[in-house]
Structure 1
Amino acid sequence: MLKIRKPRKREYHVPIQPKYRKKRPAAFWDDLDQPPLSQVVLREFNERTLEKRTELLRKKKQNANPEAIKPSRRQVLLKQFCRGGGPDLSFLRCGGETGSPETVAAEIVMAAGPGYGKIPSIKAKLPSEKSSMYDRAFAHHLRKHNVILPEYQGKGKSKISEPANKATIMTELSKSRESLTPSSIKTEHLTYFQKINEQGSIAIMSRDALPMVEGRYRGTDKAVPFRAQELNTLTHLTDGTLPPIMPQRAHGSPPAKLHEELRKDFEHYVCPTVWEKDGIVPNFFCELRDSTGNPDGLQRDLGYSLVFGARAIHWLRVYSHKKGQELDGCAYALGFTLQEGNLALYAGRARKGQAGSTGYVVNQMGSWVINDTVDGFRKGAKIYRNARDWADRMRQEVIDEANRQMAKA
């Protein structure tokens, strides 16, 4: 009988943080200077107001004196008088004839029509958890912690510069690939891809549509990519109020590529899971949304993952380079967003932040429509695969530099 060997887990020196709650903690909102006006912010404000009101009523009830709230003689007589329908106002002009309270109430209901007095059953249409999580408050929180997403990059003197190696990256993306010949991708493939993008959900797009763009990705020197898996062992990026990343695709290197001592020293920056066979130092990501998803939320979601990839590369470069040389202005983490046939490329990198701290910035590099023509689909697949291969090479170069520095030490 065959015995199934369970995967081994990495040994961590600190306990893993608990899973992020669906509801954002109070510290997240307290840290924001000016929360943007959105449904999530209004819902938080409403919940806090109700909690405060409930607390005040509870304290008032506890401290209430039974003798103080006893109704007076005047209040009792007023209530008894009102039970008879109130005073007779028939002598007033246009007063009309008054009937009993039951008759008057029945006439009002009949005049109002059917459904009067009933509370309408209205189901609140709230945004989904995936889209509402990455709202403007999320981007504002990242900005306050020195993480600049594309939407916060100004113009003129305040505009964030492009990566120093942008020209090199775009040149690598334009290289031809033998696997994308006219015989390999035909009109039938494009028609199937269009149908999935129009009708499919995120899960169906990840299962059927994205593999058509990815192509074959195998080899002994490649780690199995993460597929919608929560990478929850990485150190928090800000103050611990944000959830761990869970990209639709994330590519890293096999753990054996990096020296064991370095894996232990930088495990909370380069090892995204507890499993020993999972990839490390992920620096290539992809996020998807269906046609109903929010494009801004998709951009923030990918940018959040890219910063984790840029941080992993940065820590290895800090170890292998002299002080001041690790921040060269180049991007080593790439990612794509795919929604309604639009493929957009982003790059993440480390930069010198305020007061000498390390910050991170995400730049948009370009976008392409890949569901219009067969040639456009081939071009999009070529750009995606070339970017993935380039990110693999850059990641391996950084790992090799760190291993050489470890050998010298």
Structure 2
Amino acid sequence: MSASTSGQQPKHFVAHRAHLISVATLELHSSAAYASLWGSERLTQPRASLSPSKFSENRFEEFREADAYASKEKPVTTSIVPIINGDIDDPKCVGGDYPFGNLAPLTDGTLAQAKPDHFYGTCPKQLNRQIRNELSDHIIPSTQDDLPMMPNFFLEAKGPDGSLAVGTRQACYDGALGTRGMHSLCSYQQDKSTDNNAYTFTSTYHGGTLKLYTTHVTETSGSGCHPEYFMTQLKGCSMTSDPETFRQGASAYRNARDWAKEKRDEFIRLANERQSEAQSQHHSAASEVAVTLEDSDVSAVFDEAEDLDVQWSFEALAEDVEEETQILSRNLKKPRVGVRVSSGDIAGNKTTGRPS
């Protein structure tokens, strides 16, 4: 993110309802406090990959040396962040250092596109294509559609001379975009309001200190109001102080990352199920309409056949009557048996006017 744009962020964020709050002010923001209390136990769970047998003192010294020589932001992301990350199950779900050019503006369009240093998302093929198309500008960050989608875990890193304030605001921006996407997927095909729970994590690394945050969204009352995005700090660790502190910070980071993946997978599964159910209902309704139309056509055929039968019956009856009439007419014209008519009789009748 450019320095000129970053300098305008605080006032811009306040105007558009994106808030950064600290632990000291949680009592003033009960909804944000509620969202931050979920993970105290989950974050502190030990990781086998960070046990003393797996992450030795020598490994810690290598990390501290890398931090000391990382004078700029780039070395931090290439030499320090991979140690904090540890082994990654699916590299295709990791992205960073490119602009989120496909996402709809979070505010009024004047804020520069987000460009997280590091983030975790999901392979696009895991989500139904129709859902991806409908929610594209909320869940697919890049115009290159084979890159990870649904990012909900972010890291912004700064070198020793970099601004922690800028990095924190960038993390706030990342978290708001991730939260909006998660909420859009969670509420897909259902009227679901916000629940004040956080499903997005952000982190910053600066000067050897790792900080973890959650971001959640709340709804505001009244027409024309925008959603409010709250970013709340969960934990902070001085990663270069000693091996145990490093283990605590890296464990919290990796546990939060795993939990973020669990929520992504859950939301994707539920959205796919709703889409599949909607498709089944649509096909079922279409089949019922087709059956109704087919029954109507069959009835029409039978009705037409009945009409033809009636018409044929009347025509046959008329033909029978006509035939009988013709027979009777012919019988009336035939002479009676045993009666003889001669020409003389006819002449006599004509002369006398009476029979002879």
TM-score when scaled to structure 2?
A: 0.72
SS at match of 1:184: coil
Distance in structure 2 (CA, Å) of the matches to 1:156 and 1:328:
18
1:269 partner amino acid: H
Q: Indicate which of 9, 14, 20 corresponds to 1:149.
A: 20
Residue 224 of structure 1: CA displacement? Answer: 3.2
Could you tell me which residue of structure 2 aligns to residue 182 of structure 1? 52
* Inter-CA distance 155–382: structure 2 relative to 1 (3 Å threshold): closer
Aligned: 1:209 with 2:73 = no
Q: Indicate which of 56, 62, 68 corresponds to 1:192.
A: 62
Residue 320 of structure 1: CA displacement? Answer: 4.7
* Inter-CA distance 394–320: structure 2 relative to 1 (3 Å threshold): farther
SS at match of 2:37: helix
1:217 partner amino acid: I
Distance in structure 1 (CA, Å) of the matches to 2:235 and 2:3:
23
Aligned: 1:133 with 2:2 = no
8 Å CA contact retained: 1:234, 1:268: yes
Distance in structure 2 (CA, Å) of the matches to 1:267 and 1:369:
38
Point out where structure 2 has 5 or more consecutive residues left out of the alignment: 279-356
Distance in structure 2 (CA, Å) of the matches to 1:192 and 1:362:
32
Residue 253 of structure 1: CA displacement? Answer: 0.6
Distance in structure 2 (CA, Å) of the matches to 1:329 and 1:335:
17
Percent identity between the two aligned chains: 25
Distance in structure 2 (CA, Å) of the matches to 1:335 and 1:237:
17
**Equivalence map 1:254-265=2 (5 Å):** 254-265=123-134
8 Å CA contact retained: 2:32, 2:216: no
Residue 354 of structure 1: CA displacement? Answer: 4.8
* Inter-CA distance 155–306: structure 2 relative to 1 (3 Å threshold): closer
Q: Indicate which of 205, 209, 229 corresponds to 1:338.
A: 205
2:203 partner amino acid: F
* Inter-CA distance 209–278: structure 2 relative to 1 (3 Å threshold): same
Aligned: 1:405 with 2:274 = yes
2:138 partner amino acid: Y
Deviations 1:247-288 (A, max 9, x none): 111111111111100000010111111223211110000010
SS at match of 2:276: helix
Could you tell me which residue of structure 2 aligns to residue 352 of structure 1? 219
Distance in structure 1 (CA, Å) of the matches to 2:94 and 2:146:
11
8 Å CA contact retained: 2:205, 2:211: yes
Distance in structure 2 (CA, Å) of the matches to 1:357 and 1:311:
12
**Equivalence map 1:8-407=2 (5 Å):** 130-135=2-7, 137-150=8-21, 155=25, 158-159=28-29, 161-200=31-70, 201-219=72-90, 223-321=92-190, 323=191, 325-355=192-222, 357-407=226-276
Distance in structure 2 (CA, Å) of the matches to 1:167 and 1:149:
17
8 Å CA contact retained: 2:16, 2:226: no
SS at match of 2:216: strand
Deviations 1:288-327 (A, max 9, x none): 0111122211110111011000000011122254x3x431
Moved more, 155-164 or 185-194: 155-164
Residue 388 of structure 1: CA displacement? Answer: 0.5
Could you tell me which residue of structure 2 aligns to residue 94 of structure 1? none
* Inter-CA distance 166–363: structure 2 relative to 1 (3 Å threshold): closer
Deviations 1:194-241 (A, max 9, x none): 23323311111111111001001124xx63311212121100111111
Distance in structure 1 (CA, Å) of the matches to 2:121 and 2:163:
28
Aligned length in residues: 275
* Alpha-carbon RMSD: 2.1
* Inter-CA distance 155–174: structure 2 relative to 1 (3 Å threshold): closer
1:134 partner amino acid: S
Residue 155 of structure 1: CA displacement? Answer: 4.7
Distance in structure 2 (CA, Å) of the matches to 1:387 and 1:342:
17
1:330 partner amino acid: N
Moved over 6 A (4+): none
Deviations 1:12-63 (A, max 9, x none): xxxxxxxxxxxxxxxxxxxxxxxxxxxxxxxxxxxxxxxxxxxxxxxxxxxx
Distance in structure 2 (CA, Å) of the matches to 1:156 and 1:187:
37
SS at match of 1:246: coil
Larger radius of gyration: 2
8 Å CA contact retained: 2:116, 2:174: yes
Residue 392 of structure 1: CA displacement? Answer: 0.3
8 Å CA contact retained: 2:99, 2:115: yes
Question: Hey, which of these two has a bigger chunk of helix by percent?
Answer: 2
* Inter-CA distance 255–192: structure 2 relative to 1 (3 Å threshold): same
SS at match of 2:253: helix
SS at match of 2:93: coil
